[in-house]
Amino acid sequence: MDRVDGHHVSRRRRRWGLYLTLAAILLAVPSGVVYADDASDREYKVKAAFIYNFLKFVEGGRFAPSQGGKADKSDPNNVIVIGILGVPPSRAAFEEFQDKQVANRSIVVRWFKGFEELKDEDKKTPQQHPDIEQVRKCHVLFLCPSEKPFLQRVLPHLQDSGMLTVGDVPVFLEAGGAINLFIEDKKVRFEINLAATARAKLAVRSSLLRLAVRTIEQDRLTPREDQEKSGGNARP
């Protein structure tokens, strides 16, 4: 009985450790007199740290435990793939993901060109990302601010992929993204789209939900009949 109680206490401590870690990151903000590039690096290192910690609070979908024990980078089921789509304000911040681990699973980073980078000879952007099938294999996809005009060309194709989509633009949740990062009072904050996580069959721990500034329960990708039933629910 003592062993069981000790196990539960240990598990509660780990959960609170994760909760406090993410809460502490909320206090980390770019400040002081620095060059623009340095400020961007600092801001996005904080945002990258948020994404890394999100991995510890999300279950289900593509995060379901892999079969077998050891993490092996050659096995796509035993790594966590973080995709970066678009032009990152700080590439260095996301490169720090490489070779980190979550729950004994290694993290690898994949880079995907943004729509502006994919213009053809007539300077037209594609209606669908040419690497969408590779993008769908990611566990997490961070859509850079450069992709704000093209969210509707990406997010509808990812809604049933089981991945966690993270953005950095004001309309990200309403467009169908799962978590949006933003700056408020010189601090990095986040908001969560429960409709998007439900479509991806992701379970978000309540400790993470409590830290969100805002949650919404429907978006542009929500079927009209569901919108009419709920009457447009959102929680500040």
Tell me what the mean pLDDT of segment 149-178 comes to. 96
| Per-residue model confidence (pLDDT) at position 25 | 52
Band of pLDDT at residue 98, cut at 50, 70 and 90: confident
DSSP string for residues in 43-63? HHHHHHHHHHHHTTTEEEGGG
Phi, psi of 17 (to 5 degrees): -60, -45
| Per-residue model confidence (pLDDT) at position 224 | 74
Query: pLDDT digit string (tens) for 27-79?
Result: 444 444 344 467 788 899 999 999 999 999 999 999 886 544 454 444 555 79
| Per-residue model confidence (pLDDT) at position 192 | 98
Question: What structural domains and CATH numbers belong to the chain?
Answer: 2-235 (3.40.50.2300)
* Beta bridge mates, 102: 105
Query: pLDDT digit string (tens) for 140-158?
Result: 999 999 999 999 999 999 9
Amino acid at 184: E
Query: pLDDT digit string (tens) for 182-229?
Result: 999 989 999 999 999 999 999 999 999 999 999 999 999 998 766 656
Amino acid at 41: D
| Per-residue model confidence (pLDDT) at position 99 | 77
Element (H, E) at 197: helix 194-199
Say what percent of the chain tops pLDDT 70: 74
d(CA 157, CA 169): 19
